Amino acid sequence: MNSRERVLAALSHSEPDRVPLYYEANPGVHARVLALAGLEPGDEERLLEFLGVDFRTVGPAYRGRRLHAELPGRSVDPEWGIRTRWVAHDSGGYWDYCDFPLRDANEEAVANWPMPSPDDYDYSSIPEQCRRHAGRCICVGGPGLGDIINSAGMLRSPEQVLVDLALENAAALLLIDRRLGVQLEVARRTLEAARGMVDVVRIGEDLGCQNGPLIGLEMFRRLIRPRHQKFVDLAEAYGCKVMIHSCGSSSWAFDDFVEMGIDGVETLQPEAKDMAPRFLKQRYGDRLAFQGCISTAGPLARGTVEDVERVVRETLEIMMPGGGYCLAPTHMIQDDTPAENVLAMYRVAREAGTYRHV
């Protein structure tokens, strides 16, 4: 099978020739993985081929003007105005969200907040991007597409957006719907430009913390699910599978995911409540496909190569039967992860992830 056939078989609960593989990593560890693989900085495609990764993502470039001014000591997103600051740590650093310029904004301020137009994106390169990745599983979107809690929280603060949802704050709901309206139309034009070459639409919503739900099921059904449904329906209209990203303990929403027409879920953090691979496979494995389960907070970051090999083999033994599984880290691989462990993860996945019928 080629990558496209392999992923689509897995998402349809058939056993492919081997388990599909997905890769995503922070810049620090990514640079070390490239070096250990004997590749040059920026040689992204060769690394994906070296690891055996089956997924590729396409999307339109933003061509509009900068809508939000730069600020000293901050990185300001030119499209949405989200602000981050650099926070150093022992393994490198990361850009952390800060300032939250719309935290106290009313409806008028939200209505006047500059946002991009779908006309500001260049869709003309989409067919060539798809052709360049012919034979791969081609995706549109990611964790931020359709996402409500995280993305609204980047402008209103994580705490305030939860209060907003509880109170159904009019300004917050306007912010959410303005942003999702732009995203939905950009996604539609991207799929139209791809002319049937996109296989999977990825959306996101972090619904859990480590010990349980982040919000209640009733709130999810009232405020989140109807907004997500528009993206699911769009994907289905273009013949695409739908994957949803959700960190933490999120299996409480999986029955709703099935009803909505979602095909698969990632990231699947095994240490979170009701997210162990065996639990997920036994309870939902006939209705949902899964991507993830290799914890970025476990042996991948803190163990030896042998520890990583063991966890990968154990996970595959549980998740492989009957198809429906793509092996991946539970998040972007973090900078505290040894590059040797990353290469071991993908090497063992390629070896032990081959189905016996092949």
**Positive or negative: CA dihedral 344, 345, 350, 354:** positive
Identity of the amino acid at 183: Q
Segment holding 230, helix H or strand E: helix 225-237
Alpha helices in 52-197 (DSSP H): 107-112, 126-132, 149-156, 158-167, 170-194
Give 96's strand partners.
Answer: 85
Amino acid code (one letter) for 20: P
Other beta carbons less than 10 A from residue 237's beta carbon: 10
Radius of gyration of the chain (CA): 20
The C-alpha atoms of residue 297 and residue 248 are separated, in whole angstroms, by 12
CA 135 – CA 130 distance, rounded (Å) = 9
Q: Which long-range contacts (CB under 8 A, 24 or more apart) does 162-170 make?
A: 162/214, 162/215, 165/215, 165/219, 165/223, 166/219, 168/223, 170/107
pLDDT for the residue numbered 357 = 63
Map out the domains of the chain with their CATH numbers: 3-63+121-148+161-352 (3.20.20.210)
Phi, psi (deg, nearest 5) at residue 327: -80, 135
pLDDT reported for residue 92: 84
Close Cβ partners of 108 (under 8 Å, ≥ 6 residues apart): none
Q: How far is CA 209 from CA 212, 244, 251, 299, 336, in A?
A: 6, 16, 11, 20, 22
Burial 50-86 (b: 16+ CB within 10 A, else e): bbbbbbbbbbbeeeeeebbeeeeeeebebbbbbbbee
Q: How many residues does the chain have?
A: 358
- CB neighbour list of residue 79: distance below 8 Å, 6 or more residues apart: 62, 64, 67, 68, 115, 116, 120
Q: Give CA–CA dist 238/293, Å, rounded.
A: 29
Average pLDDT for runs of 10 along the chain of length 358: 98 98 96 97 97 98 98 98 95 93 98 98 98 98 97 98 98 98 98 98 97 97 98 98 97 98 97 97 98 96 97 98 97 96 98 85
CB 282 within 8 A of CB 294: no
